């Protein structure tokens, strides 16, 4: 879709099947449906409001609470996720799961992910939808660096009833920066025994030709439907759920 934008397409969306190997459980299925859109010339604050309006309309909630990633860690764990001591993070994860903490070692972002999912995410409940914004720059993925906090990225996620529903970016436009991030990601993949990924992709080529300013959001449609219907398993909203990983 970003290649289409680089070729001159207007704001666009898609609704269709996607696949992730090895994902199976209460909120996961190997094949699922993704609603994805790219809004040309949009600013991140506007796209956060748009996602919040969609959440209120489809999930029948009256409020959207927008909160920064750093603020959540300070509120629930009394630490700053970016500047805190790595050994302290490891100790906290050890209290959650000693075997997992040992496996993750000195991977700060993975340690933060464990604390976020086990301590913070279960608190993102109640009648409101939550949008968490400004993730650490090391977790930027395809998002730009934040203009408000240079240690963070213009990335945001929607949560409802403790479940992640959508992921959004003020989209990165710099192809060289994308390559630097891909190379760093491949180092991590190689260290963990996973195959490395191609660096010079068709997306990189499109970005070099010129990707317009845009915000993008990817929303798990099955999870949205699951929460709208009030059913406990994602398979309850799928006609043919996977039975194996």
What's the mean per-residue pLDDT of the chain? Answer: 95
First to last CA, the chain: 28
What is the predicted pLDDT for the residue at 65?
97
What is the predicted pLDDT for the residue at 194?
87
Q: Does residue 185 have a pLDDT over 80?
A: yes
Q: How far apart are CA 199 and CA 193, in angstroms?
A: 18
Task: Classify strands 214-220 and 64-68 as parallel, antiparallel or unpaired.
Answer: unpaired
Mean pLDDT across 89-96:
95
DSSP state of 236: G
The number of residues in the chain equals 245
Contacts of 176 (CB under 8 A, 6+ apart): none
pLDDT tens track for 34-80? 999 999 999 999 999 999 999 999 999 989 999 999 999 999 999 99
pLDDT tens track for 138-172? 999 999 999 999 999 999 999 999 999 999 999 99
Structural domains in the chain plus CATH codes: 2-173+211-237 (3.30.930.10)
Whether the model clears a pTM of 0.85, i.e. scores above it, the answer is yes
What is the predicted pLDDT for the residue at 244?
57
Q: Does residue 81 have a pLDDT over 70?
A: yes
Nearest-5° Cα angle at 121, 119 to 122: 75
What is the predicted pLDDT for the residue at 22?
76
């Amino acid at each position: 879709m970003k290649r289409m934008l680089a070729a001159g397409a207007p704001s666009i969306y898609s609704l269709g099947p996607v696949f992730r190997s090895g994902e199976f459980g209460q909120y996961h299925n190997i094949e699922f449906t993704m609603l994805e859109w790219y809004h040309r010339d949009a600013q991140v604050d506007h796209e956060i409001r748009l996602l919040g309006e969609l959440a209120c309309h489809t999930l029948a909630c009256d409020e959207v609470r927008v909160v920064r990633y750093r603020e959540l860690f300070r509120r629930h764990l009394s630490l700053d996720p970016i500047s805190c001591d790595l050994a302290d993070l490891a100790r906290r994860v050890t209290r959650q799961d000693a075997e997992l903490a040992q496996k993750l070692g000195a991977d700060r972002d993975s340690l933060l992910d464990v604390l976020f999912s086990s301590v913070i995410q279960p608190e993102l409940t109640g009648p409101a939808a939550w949008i968490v914004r400004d993730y650490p720059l090391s977790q930027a993925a395809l998002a730009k660096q934040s203009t408000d906090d240079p240690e963070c990225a213009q990335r945001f996620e929607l949560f409802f009833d403790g479940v992640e529903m959508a992921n959004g970016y003020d989209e990165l436009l710099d192809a060289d920066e994308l390559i630097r991030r891909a190379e760093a990601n491949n180092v991590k993949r190689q260290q963990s025994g996973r195959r490395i990924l191609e660096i010079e992709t068709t997306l990189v080529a499109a970005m070099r030709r010129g990707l317009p300013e845009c915000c993008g959001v990817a929303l798990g449609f099955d999870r949205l439907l699951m929460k709208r219907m009030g059913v406990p398993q994602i398979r309850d909203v799928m006609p043919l759920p996977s039975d194996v990983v």
